Each structure stands twice: as structure tokens, then as C-alpha cells.
Structure 1
Amino acid sequence: MASPKVSQALKKIASSADKQQGYEALLKDIRSFSTPTALSKDLIAILDAIFDGSLGIVATRSLGVAYVQTLTSVPSNEVKIEVGEYALEKFQSQASSFEEQNAQIRELMATAYEDDEDFLASAKILSGIPLESSQRKVTNEDKVRFWIRITRNYLEVDDTTLAEQYLNKAKNLIYTVDDRDLNLHFNLCQARIQDARRNFLAAAQGYQEISLMPVIAEEERLHTLSMAIKCAVLAPAGPARSRALGRLYKDERASTLEEYSILEKMFLDRLLAPEEVEKFAKGLAPHQLAKTGDGSTVLQRAVIEHNLRGASRLYNNISFEALGLLLGLDGDKAEDTTAKMIEQGRLVGRIDQIERVIWFEGGEATGEKGSGRAEGVVGRELKKWDANVQGLAEEVEKITSELQLRYPDFVAANLVV
């Protein structure tokens, strides 16, 4: 029920000759006719009067534009949402004639929901905007902007499935968009989705690329660089992660961040202490501390694999039990972890299950499945011995040749054939 002043104004307009002008004047001065508590009901009553006034589609559409402008100027998000929902129902009865107003109302409501931090409702209301229509032309840039806005809202509520659906739509058109800010938001959404899906290597690269963009503030660039380091640390140990850590370690800005200490130790394959890991964990997001299938967290698994690689740099061989003590695992679990890394090509070595000893091979794994399996210990040791003997012989030959050049008489007199 409308307030008395608005009800009286509507009756006066209904009996006037120029109803359109009367409604436009009422909408323009609505705050002088209505109170904040009655504003929602008054705006709904005005909309009902416009649609029930038999004004014709042209006049009704023109008043629809004025109505949206009035609602936009309302400061209360609650009023915008309540009146917006009712307006959408009204416009739905003549959807083809009010597509533009429908889109504007939905955008207005989405902004109100975002201000109230109801990101799920914002995403849902935006997804109802028709982007393919003969009545309303939407450019590729506007489409991408809508999809990225929806993606960001879904990411705020950790719904990566729907976020990725809308980002994939934007992916098909982003190459046609020149707007730098829009491209930045697209790249950031992509990195956040990869991060949430635990594709940490791709996320680290995406965050680092964003951190190099001059269009964002220095503080934000450092923040995204920090996110890149966190993702690189959480990635599975192996040659790919080593390259990612190397790129970040060589970034001069990294030394100013709190994560630099753990980055340096991981890049240099030094063992990590529990206190360092605990301190690093405090800066991680909830999804980065989620538990994996075996009950450990993503961080715990990353640290165990890293320390295993670090141990391979320190020892030629180690027993299952000693390795387990080093990694904080039992002997069988240490063996299982090592076997998986060797099989996946992230560590080069050989496991002697009879003697319960792991033999580490020097050098870097290739990352290809099955490439981490080392040759038998005896064959490997013989090859090392042969290489050492060959090296020694070559050095002796070099010295002999040098002596012949400098002291030919001495060599001729003392050379034993």
C-alpha cells in the first residue's frame, strides 16, 4: 500500500491529460513525496500504475527508462533489491520490449548484493541478463565484462565449477578485447581458479605474470608475487617446480617478502624445519590447507616431497627407517612416497626392498613418467669407477703433453717406453 501523498499523486495523474509527464515528474521528485520507510511500496505502486495505465508501449518504455534512473539514485540497497525483484516480474510480462531495462535492473541489484557481500545472489542475478538478442546489441567487450564479473562473484564463494564455466565463455572472446584492466581481471580469475583446483604450478606462473604488469599498484603486484611463491611452494616437488622456484628466486622483489626464506631453502634444496613450515602455513588460504586423499594437507605433502629431494642431495643411500625419521613418517610410508616420486619421474633413484635401502642417483629428474628409475647399484658404481679412471688418465696425458712442449729434452731422457 502506497503512502497517502503518493496515492493522491497517482490519482491526480490518472485523471490528467498527460499521464506520461505526470509519472515522470513524480519519479523525479519521489523523495519529496515519500519517506525512506515507505519508499519501496511507493515505487512499486508507481510501477503498477504505469503498467495499468494503458499508455502504449512507446510511452511505457520511456517511463521504464525513467523508473530505472530513479531506482539507481536510491541510496538504500534493501530498497533497490526489493523494488528490483518486483520490477523484473513486471518487465517479464513484456520481456522483448524491456530487455534493456531488465539488464539495467539486474546490474543495479547485482551491485547492491555485492555491497552487502552476497556474492552468490549477485552472480545469479547477473547470469539472467540476455547477451544475445536482436533487440539489444552487446559488444564482445561487454560480454567479457559480464562473464568476468560473474566469475569473480562465484570465486568469492569458492564455487570454482561455475566460475570456470563463465571464465571459459570469456576465454573465447578475450582475444578481441583491448581493455588492459579487463585482461588483467581475466588473468587473475584464471590464476585463482587454477589455485583453487590445486594446479599450483600454472597458478604460480599466472600470479607472477600479473605481478609484472605495470597497470596495477606496487602493493598489489607484491601481493600477487607473494601468491605466486605460495603456489610454487605447494606444487609437487620435481623439475617443473624447480624451474618455477628458480624464476621466483631470481625476481629481485621476492627478497622483500615474508615467504622469501622458505622460497630460498626450497630453491637450494635445503631441508625445512617444522617451525618454518608452521609459520608459512599461517599465511595460506583455507583451500591451500585442505586435506588430500591420504589425510595429509597439501602443504604437508609438499614439504615431505621437498625434504625427500633435499635428502637425495645429501645421501647416496639411506634406509627406509632413517628416511622416515627425517621426513616425519614411518619407514613404509617413506618408501611409498619415494616410489611414487621415482615412478612419476620427479626423483632419480632405486629401491632395494630386501635390504630396505633407497639409493639416490645424482642429477635432475626429467619429469617424464618412469624416467626416475636408476640402473642397478653395481652397474652404476662401476660406471662411476670407469669414469674416474678415464678422467685420471686424461689428466696424466695432459700433463705429459705439457711437459713435452716445455721440457722436450727432459722428457726424451726420462721417458720410459
Structure 2
Amino acid sequence: MDVDSTITPNLASIQSISNQREKIDAYLSLLATLLTPTASAADLTAFGRHFTTSTSMAMVVGRRVLGDYVAALAAGTDYRPTLAAEADDDRAKWDAAGLAAFTGRDDVRREVVEGVLAGDLAGWCEEQTTALRHVLSGILQRDEDWLGAARALMRIPLDGSRIVPDEEKLAVYIKIVRLLLECGESGAAQTYFSRASLLIHTSKDKETQLAYRLSQARLLDFAARFAEAAQKYHEISFNSAIAEEDRIQMLSSAVTTSILAPAGPQRSRILASLNRDERVQTSLPAHLSTMLRKMLLEYIVRPEEVHEFERGLEEHQRAIVEGGGTVLERAVREHNVNACAQVYDNIGFDGLGALLGVDAASAESMSRRMIEQGRLRAWIDQPLGLLYFESRPSHDTDADAQGTAGGLGIEHVEKEVEPVSWTERWDDRIRATSLKVESVAAQIQARGLVKA
């Protein structure tokens, strides 16, 4: 890409100098004249491309001058290049010059960096152009162009001729993942997260490991694997390396995703764990803690409570699921089916549908799916259109108390619901009726209402 510039003759003149030391000094003197508060984007772009497109530039000259040029462009950004320089005070001089030239002028800096990186680049300056891509990514992040910032990092040649340490590759991959998640590109983010997963074992840096775990939690969230996401968020919320405000945000995300998770023993354990966290009651909005307790205690959730909770959801958490309705609506409906078991022995599908806000056929389909997946202890009398709720066997009581709602333990293996034959169901009902009759008769006799 050709750039119209007034310094083209100057560059040609300097290039003809044979002494390398004099050539370096001449290039740096020209660079100093360009780095002013009224810096010309065209001249600075031409200066950079003079090096990045040259295949005949002496490496000792090119890397020395281009290193200081990159340092000036990076001044004032979040990225600090680690390129070699002759002395720290020399590098500080170019930082100061860059700050003077680009303070409040990110549009000019962006135009220069994009211009330098355009077209074919020489292979000898991969280290310097990599630093420029980091600078461009930082500028785009300031503009909240998350996808553009991610793409700038994607163009970094991590597997080229330059040997890149695994730690640096891992940092780039994780940063790409976080940027892609900011703009909702979870599919592409998963690709780069998979690459990071192959390298995470090589890192001992706590900040990198924390960023990896946070990315993992958010990817699970985007993938609608809410129970797993809630567990990851809750674990991260205890990390003291994170600011208190961010820890509370992680806790809020844990509560939100636990509520969105499908009803069942796994979610019950997560809800119980969150309910024991004192911060839920003291630091989170009241509607979140109230919703959590209703889900935990299997109380029926009302539509107005659902609407208030829904206002705090992210876009991907409002996705429409198979069969109609949002993720939240499905979670609440499944929860309310389980809550009905605490109130009714049986319920007609017309009544259940009215309670859930769906038709009878949808209510039956939802109940059947939950029974098949072992998330609801019940059986269906299809001819009569009734859903019968089963009481839990007595030998399961202790395990359920520890492994599900309100318990203190963790049940590692979810139990399958054992099939119950029609004969056993019939015997159980006769036994229950007989016990009730005996109890009533004993009370009548105790009060002397019937003479023996």
C-alpha cells in the first residue's frame, strides 16, 4: 500500500547512508521530528512502512529504530511492548514523545497502526508487528469494538518462524476468548478456549489461571450449561485476588445461572450451597435472594417474580428453547412442577397447564420428560389425564437431606428413579388408607364417642 508522504525523500536519503550507527541516528532524529502534538498520520505511517515492508533493511538498524517507533505508538495504552532497547532512559524518551503526540488522539494512532499493518509485511519484524497488533487491539477496546480487538489479536502469528513461549500464546488465546465473549461470539471463543486448554497446564501465573477459569464459566453460561456455570462462578467468587465488587458480581452470576438451570438434584445442591453463603442475603438485590430461596424450598414462583428477575438477564440467557418459551420460563415451569409435588398428591394436566401458563398437552410433555430424565418422582395416568406424585422412599430420606435442598453434604452420583410396579402402587395406597382409618378410629375411641 502506497502512502503519500512528505518524508519519502528524507527516508530515501537516510537509506543511502553506509555507516550503520549514523543511519540509526538519522532515522531516530527524523522520528523525533514526527512525534509532535500535530503529528501527521500519513508521515508516521510512511515511516513505519519504510521498515515493515523492506526486505533489504539491515536487521540491526531496522529492529533498533522500529522498536522505538513501536514504543512511541504504544505510549499511554494498556500494552507495554517488551522489545529490546539500548537503555531504559532511551525507551522512556520515546514513551514521552509518544504521549505528547497521541494524547487524546487515538483516532490518529489507530490510522497509523492500521496503515503500517496493511499489506504484505517483512518476516524479520514479526516481533515489532506483533506489538503493533496488541496496540491496535487496545485502541479498539477503548472504542468498545470487541470483535475488532479480537481480530487484531487473531492475526498475530503464534506458530510462525518466531519462537513464541507457551505463556505468551496462552495469554493471547485467553484475551481473544474474553473479547469474543464480550460481543457474544461464543462459538469462535470456544475454538480459542480449546487451544488455551492445551497450554493452561504450563502456566503458574495466578492471574492467567484465574482468567482461564472465568472464561470457562462464561463459556458454560453461553452454552446454557447453567448448573456447571453456577458452580464455577461460585468458586471464583471466593478468590481474594479479585476485587470485592467483582466477587459480588460473580456471586450474582452464580445465583442467576443456578436459577436458570434445569430442575433436579444437581441444581438443588447448588442452590443449597449458595443459600449457605451469607453474602447472598447481605450483598445481593432482594429479588435474587428471594428467588433463590423459593427455588430451594420448592415454593411456587409467581409470574410477577419471574418478570422482575428477567430484567437482569443477559441477551444469551433470554434464548428461546425448543418447545417454546425462554430459558427462564422453562426453568420456572419445571420448578413449579416439582413444587406441586409438595402441595398435591395428584393434579390434572388442565390444572397443571393453567398453573404453568401452558396448555395441557405441553404440561404433560414437560412432566413426561422430567420423569424420563429422573428429575421428577411421579407417574402419569394418561386415560384420566392425571399426574400422580410419588413420595420418596424412607431409606432415601437421609441421602436426600444431605444431597439436595438445604442439606450440608454433596451427593456425587445422581440416583435413577426406580420403576414402581402397578401392584406396589396399589399396595402402598391401600396401606396408607388403612393407616388413616386406624388413626381416625383410635381418635374416636380415645374421645369416648363410641362405646366399646
CA contact (8 A) 2:352 2:363 kept: yes
Q: Once the 2 structures are TM-superposed, how far is the Cα of residue 188 of structure 1 from its aligned partner? A: 0.8
Task: Determine the C-alpha separation between the residues in 1 that align with 2:263 and 2:207.
Answer: 34
Alignment-derived partner of residue 307 in structure 2: 278
Q: Which runs of 4+ in 1 moved over 4 A?
A: 1-4, 6-17, 48-55, 364-369, 384-390
Distance 1:8 1:53, change over 3 A: farther
Task: Determine the C-alpha separation between the residues in 2 that align with 1:367 and 1:331.
Answer: 29
Distance 1:93 1:273, change over 3 A: closer
Matched AA of 2:42: K
Pairs within 5 Å for 1:10-409: 10=11, 13=14, 18-32=22-36, 35-36=38-39, 39-49=40-50, 56-73=58-75, 74=98, 75=102, 76-89=105-118, 92-95=120-123, 97-136=124-163, 138-256=164-282, 257-258=284-285, 259-363=288-392, 371=417, 373-376=419-422, 379-383=424-428
CA contact (8 A) 2:23 2:61 kept: no
Q: Once the 2 structures are TM-superposed, how far is the Cα of residue 345 of structure 1 from its aligned partner? A: 0.8
Task: Determine the C-alpha separation between the residues in 1 that align with 2:326 and 2:55.
Answer: 64
Matched AA of 1:106: R
Distance 1:175 1:20, change over 3 A: same
Alignment-derived partner of residue 88 in structure 2: none
**Structure 1 vs Structure 2 CA RMSD:** 2.9
Superimposed CA distance per residue, residues 154-192 of structure 1 (whole angstroms, 9 cap, x where no aligned partner): 111111111011111111121221211111111111111
Greater Cα offset, 230-239 or 289-298: 289-298
CA contact (8 A) 1:113 1:121 kept: yes
Q: Once the 2 structures are TM-superposed, how far is the Cα of residue 313 of structure 1 from its aligned partner? A: 1.5
**TM-score normalised by length of structure 2:** 0.78
Q: Once the 2 structures are TM-superposed, how far is the Cα of residue 341 of structure 1 from its aligned partner? A: 0.6
How many residues matched? 384
Alignment-derived partner of residue 93 in structure 2: none
Q: Once the 2 structures are TM-superposed, how far is the Cα of residue 287 of structure 1 from its aligned partner? A: 1.1
Distance 1:15 1:324, change over 3 A: closer
Superimposed CA distance per residue, residues 353-376 of structure 1 (whole angstroms, 9 cap, x where no aligned partner): 11111111012698567x375443
Task: Determine the C-alpha separation between the residues in 1 that align with 2:196 and 2:5.
Answer: 46
Alignment-derived partner of residue 398 in structure 1: none
Superimposed CA distance per residue, residues 78-99 of structure 1 (whole angstroms, 9 cap, x where no aligned partner): 2333222332247x4421x111
Percent identity for Structure 1 against Structure 2: 37
Task: Determine the C-alpha separation between the residues in 2 that align with 1:289 and 1:302.
Answer: 12
SS at match of 2:312: coil
Q: Once the 2 structures are TM-superposed, how far is the Cα of residue 52 of structure 1 from its aligned partner? A: 6.8
Matched AA of 1:309: N
CA contact (8 A) 2:49 2:116 kept: no
Matched AA of 1:380: R
Higher relative contact order, chain-length normalized (CA < 8 Å, sep 6+) = 2
Superimposed CA distance per residue, residues 59-109 of structure 1 (whole angstroms, 9 cap, x where no aligned partner): 12322212212222342332333222332247x4421x1111121111111
Superimposed CA distance per residue, residues 184-243 of structure 1 (whole angstroms, 9 cap, x where no aligned partner): 111111111110110001100010001011111222111111101110101111111111
SS at match of 2:342: helix
**TM-score normalised by length of structure 1:** 0.84
Task: Determine the C-alpha separation between the residues in 1 that align with 2:57 and 2:323.
Answer: 68
Task: Determine the C-alpha separation between the residues in 2 that align with 1:133 and 1:294.
Answer: 48
Matched AA of 1:86: G
SS at match of 1:313: coil
Task: Determine the C-alpha separation between the residues in 2 that align with 1:341 and 1:270.
Answer: 18
Task: Determine the C-alpha separation between the residues in 1 that align with 2:56 and 2:157.
Answer: 27
CA contact (8 A) 1:350 1:374 kept: no
Matched AA of 1:211: S
Task: Determine the C-alpha separation between the residues in 2 that align with 1:343 and 1:11.
Answer: 78
Matched AA of 2:35: R
Task: Determine the C-alpha separation between the residues in 2 that align with 1:255 and 1:243.
Answer: 18
Q: Once the 2 structures are TM-superposed, how far is the Cα of residue 55 of structure 1 from its aligned partner? A: 5.1
Task: Determine the C-alpha separation between the residues in 2 that align with 1:49 and 1:130.
Answer: 21
